[in-house]
Amino acid sequence: MPQTDPTPPLPEPYAELSRALRRRYPEDPSQLRQRAADAQTAYAEALQLQGRFAEHLMALGAAVKCPAFPRPGGIKSWARLEEKTNLFGFPPLDILAGKIVFTSLADLYASAPLVGDQFVIAGFRDRFLQPRASGYRDMQFIVDLDGHYAEVKLALAAFDELDHYEHRLYEVRRTLETLPQLSKVQTVVLETLDDASTLMFSRVWHSLVTEGQVEE
Amino acid sequence: MTKYYMVGAVPVKVVRQEGGQTAILAFNVHLGRFESNSRYYSMIRRDDTGLVRQVTEEEFEFAVEQLRQKAS
């Protein structure tokens, strides 16, 4: 992890809201698995449920007055699903996925309790409180649609925007990751690209908090 | 030096070779053998999923054996 100014923590009023959500939804998404053990069955389930999922996601967006975006194409591509299933040994939880994008953390936290009005929530993780190792932050809900899990994320516009640029770094990393083994230099390049993306997320968060854009 | 991991249900070992090369070998349950896969390098170094766990060599071998038996 690159050295930079200490990353400011989530302001306490939000941290308290986050802890309340955790008490309500104690299951961490990493503990959940699709009922279907194979990618093909999980994919077929998702295909059948995608209309209903999108309908509820759009209703949630309307309720919180923020734009809602189902996954482009509605469903994770078969190639990507197969790849992810092989990488982890089981189908992922985000075959069906969507996000609501907020411009302020205050609105995002005020809206979080409303996710349960549209979806049955099976898992919850607040990555503003405990950011991902990459530094990316959002709020993740795993929702249950007739036994099939799908992902709903509450995202902050600044991170969502930065994510598009981070994806360019990811594409360079992917080029190296196709190699059967990595030389010392190649591992240095990979690690530096990883650190660069972590630094970008960290700096964006830092500026949001210190410049008062994360109003309490 | 070799380090052992479980990435979800997949046993993955990271082998640092003399000369500085790094090989990442993941157990393919369908083929019953290890295959090179450098995708795991960043996934392990910077786990964003909560699904990466470093394990001992014994735990690793046990997991591989379980998968072999499941596949056969």
Q: Could you write out the three-class secondary structure of chain A? A: CCCCCCCCCCCHHHHHHHHHHHHHCCCCHHHCCCCCCCHHHHHHHHHHHHHHHHHHHHHHHHHHCCCEEECCCCCCCHHHHHHHHHHHCCCCCCCCEEEEEECCHHHHHHHHHHHHHHCEEEEEEECCCCCCCCCCCCEEEEEEECCEEEEEEEEEHHHHHHHHHHHHHHHHHHHHHCCCEECHHHHHHHHHHHHHHHHHHHHHHHHHHHCCCCCC
pLDDT tens readout for residues A139-166: 999 999 999 999 999 999 999 999 888 8
- The whole-angstrom distance between A88's CA and the closest CA on chain B is 5
- At B26, give phi and psi (nearest 5°): -115, 140
Q: Which residues of A touch B17 (CB under 8 A)?
A: 181
Q: Which residues of B touch A86 (CB under 8 A)?
A: 10, 28
**How far is it, in rounded angstroms, from Cα A145 to Cα B65?**
35
Q: What is the ipTM of this complex?
A: 0.93
Q: Which residues of A touch B42 (CB under 8 A)?
A: 173, 177, 190, 194
- The whole-angstrom distance between A180's CA and the closest CA on chain B is 5
User: Which H helix or E strand runs over B43?
Assistant: helix B40-45
pLDDT tens readout for residues A3-50: 545 688 899 999 999 999 999 999 999 999 999 999 999 999 999 999
Q: Inform me whether the C-beta atom of residue A79 falls under 8 Å from chain B C-beta atoms.
A: no
Q: Inform me whether the C-beta atom of residue A161 falls under 8 Å from chain B C-beta atoms.
A: no
Shortest CB distance from A134 goes to which of B8, B29, B48? B48
Q: Is A181 in contact with B38 (Cβ distance < 8 A)?
A: yes
Task: Indicate the SS3 state at residue B44.
Answer: helix
**How far is it, in rounded angstroms, from Cα A46 to Cα A204?**
34
Q: Label residue B32 left, alpha or beta by phi (over 0 means left) and psi (-120 to 50 means alpha).
A: left
Contact A29, B50 (CB under 8 A): yes
Q: Is A190 in contact with B42 (Cβ distance < 8 A)?
A: yes
Single pTM value for the model: 0.91
pLDDT for B19: 86
Q: Is A181 in contact with B23 (Cβ distance < 8 A)?
A: yes
Substitution target in A31, A86, A93, A184 with the highest count of B β-carbons within 10 Å is A86
Number of A–B residue contacts, CB under 8 Å? 74
Task: Indicate the SS3 state at residue B12.
Answer: strand
pLDDT tens readout for residues A193-213: 999 999 999 999 998 888 765
